Amino acid sequence: MSETPVPGFSTLAVHAGAKPDPATGARATPIYQTTSFVFDDVDHAASLFGLQAFGNIYTRITNPTTAVLEERVAALEGGTAALGVASGHAAEFLTFHALLTPGDEFVASTKLYGGSINQFNHSYKNFGWTPKWADPDDLSAFEAAISPRTKAIFIESIANPGGVIVDIEAIAKIAKRARVPLIVDNTLASPYLLKPIDYGADIVVHSATKFLGGHGNSLGGVVVDGGTFDWLADKRYPMLSEPRPEYNGMVLGETFGNFAFAIALRVLGLRDLGPALSPFNAFMILTGVETLPLRMQKHSDNALAIAEHLSNHPAVKWVSYPGLPGDRYHQLAKKYCPKGAGAVFTFGLTGGYDAGLALVKNLKLFSHLANVGDTRSLVIHPASTTHKQLSDAQKVTAGAGPDVVRVSIGIEDAADLIADLDQALAAS
């Protein structure tokens, strides 16, 4: 008997996790805008609270609309389960909360979104968690940063703001030798361009606010459990390997197997810390995911055309976009992102800091705001905005030096975007 073929990416983007509503027949996933859910009887309630059965108790923990989004993103990333939360920052925080205890360390790429750098360097101090920084261009730096207290490695697949492609497979090998999970922020690539789990990642996080939702209208985050890490190999991850007093001594790693991490995030992190995704935002992001493959291809095609144009413009000193054949990350882009190198890239102006500010001021079609992943084209000068809290040295290390302009290319006509850039560069 022949096996049922695995649906293609576009089919999963539309259908995974969803079915017509059994009560009404509604084809679109309904917004279950409710705080809580009625139990069948006292035994049903007890089984839900004791983790003996799956079901809905309270929207802070589970919700049917959010559940469809979780299942869909897990399917697209090739993971075993996922958790939807209030934002990308919440996704990162809950992930580390499940892995780290006071005094623990994690190794993080120096090429990250400025907000993540700030979160790691400052907010995490309150929990006794310490980042050790490593340059993804120097793999030996990751090896050198690992200590007996290291509990994870964190990287971005395509780094924000520079659009740098990171060698996930090589860093995954380092993580496996150190017996720690590799966490990959896949926000800029999305699973359409790149699936980190295929290259050895154990956990994938997203700011679903960006390309998954795609329309700049809803905040959200997602954590995907790759189902690949052995949480019971030793006692380094007590939330998964030791009896949990909240659940009568249950060992989550034993009970839930290859989706235990996602369960731990839900019942030990989201339950108590509370950064829940609203059902309405889950619905909006879910709707965006349906067009993800169409949008990501258009984003990438437009970005390449515009990067090529800027690389030949006299007012532009340099362009950092891995889709360009001469870019230092082009070979990695061909390996990891053969369909396109994404929508986000940076370039530097010959006039430096002041020219960057002037360009942003003179653009008309591009929107000046602190976001990426919108259908609309966006622009920002990171050194004066998103990375302003960093030192000058940290800005340069993160790819946000004084001359840097970051763009997130939308799905408009590329010719119109090029014309807007040309007039703004002339005016600057």
Q: 3-state secondary structure string, the chain?
A: CCCCCCCCHHHHHHHCCCCCCCCCCCCCCCCCCCCECCCCCHHHHHHHHCCCCCCCCECCCCCHHHHHHHHHHHHHHCCCEEEEECCHHHHHHHHHHHHCCCCCEEEEECCCCHHHHHHHHCHHHHHCCEEEEECCCCHHHHHHHCCCCEEEEEEECEECCCCEECCHHHHHHHHHHHCCCEEEECCCCHHHHCCHHHHCCCEEEEECCCCCCCCCCCCCEEEEECCCCCCCCCCCCHHHHCCEHHHCCECHHHHHHHHHHHHHHHHHHHHHHCCECCHHHHHHHHHHHCCHHHHHHHHHHHHHHHHHHHHCCCCEEEEECCCCCCCCCHHHHHHHCCCCCCCEEEEEECCHHHHHHHHHHHCCCCEECCCCCCCCCEEECHHHCCCCCCCHHHHHHCCCCCCEEEEECCCCCHHHHHHHHHHHHHHC
pLDDT band of 396, cuts 50, 70, 90: confident
Amino acid found at 329: Y
pLDDT tops 90 at residue 203: yes
- The pLDDT assigned to 359 comes to 95
On whether both 305 and 400 belong to a single domain, the answer is yes
pLDDT at 145 over 80: yes
Name which of 253-262, 275-284, 391-400 the model is least confident about: 391-400
* 225-272 pLDDT, tens digit each: 999 999 999 899 999 999 999 999 999 999 999 999 999 999 999 999
Domain that holds residue 366: 292-427
Whether residue 359 sits in one domain with residue 233? no
pLDDT of res. 243: 97
169 and 273 in one domain? yes
- Residue 4 inside a domain? The answer is no
The answer on pLDDT for 369 being more than 50 is yes
- Is the pLDDT reported for residue 393 higher than 60? yes
Instruction: Say if residue 276 is in the same domain as residue 323.
Output: no
What is the structure's pLDDT at 2?
56
Which bin fits 285, alpha (ψ -120 to 50), beta or left (φ > 0)?
alpha
Domain-embedded: residue 64: yes
The tally of domains found in the chain comes to: 2
Q: Which of 289, 312, 329 is the last residue of a domain?
A: 289
More confident residue, 139 or 162: 139
Q: Are 350 and 386 in contact (CB under 8 A)?
A: no
Ranking 96-100, 149-153, 332-336, 352-356 by mean pLDDT, the lowest is 352-356
Q: Are residues 181 and 51 in the same domain?
A: yes
The mean of the pLDDT values for the chain is: 95
pLDDT (mean) for 50-75? 97
CATH code, 230: 3.40.640.10
Taking CA atoms, 208 is separated from 86, 274, 373, in Å, by 9, 18, 9
Q: Among 62-71, 163-172, 180-189, 380-389, which is the least confidently predicted range?
A: 380-389
Query: Are residues 267 and 318 both part of a single domain?
Result: no
In a domain, 2, yes or no: no
Answer whether residue 152 shows pLDDT above 70: yes
pLDDT band at 401 (very low <50, low <70, confident <90, very high): confident
pTM of the model: 0.95
Residue range 84-107: mean pLDDT, rounded: 98
Q: Give yes or no: residues 84 and 151 share one domain.
A: yes
Q: What is the pLDDT of residue 1?
A: 47
Task: Specify the CATH number for the domain of residue 397.
Answer: 3.90.1150.10
Average pLDDT over residues 300-324: 97
